[in-house]
Amino acid sequence: MSTKAGVWQGTLALMVLKTLNAMGPQHGYGIARRIEQTSENLLSINHGTLYPVLLKLEQEGAIASKWGVSENNRRAKFYRITKAGQKQLASEVNQWAQATEIVARFIALKGVKA
């Protein structure tokens, strides 16, 4: 893939939770950069998409936030995963693992060419 892609519908929350679980508390920019780095810059995280997901996850109790100071001395909101978020993450990882296994079977399917 030569160009950056957007995030597939329904996957950004999983990526946010996984990032916070792996990296500890992060501000929004840090979360976006980590997701992009993990995808080897194949994904581009639009901040207009990220922040509504962060708000939704916080309202659901999957993450919590508090204000702090970033590495460049700017005020930033730092997010952390909660116990409820860890449970949600485990459930979403399981669901996506099953879904990707099913899709992989269809990708590997051999048949008559159209």
Q: What are the tens digits of pLDDT across the range 22-35?
A: 999 999 999 999 99
Distance spanning both ends of the chain, measured CA to CA: 25
Looking at residue 110, its pLDDT comes to 86
- By the 10 Å C-beta count (0-12 exposed, 13-18 middle, 19+ buried), 40 is classed as exposed
- For 12-108, CATH gives 1.10.10.10
Q: Which residue has the higher pLDDT, 23 or 9?
A: 23
Query: 4 pLDDT band (50/70/90 cuts)?
Result: low
Domain boundary assignment for the chain: 12-108
Q: Which pTM does this prediction carry?
A: 0.85
Q: Do the Cβ atoms of 92 and 49 come closer than 8 Å? A: no
Give 85's contacts (C-beta < 8 A, 6+ positions apart). 17, 20, 21, 57, 61, 62, 63
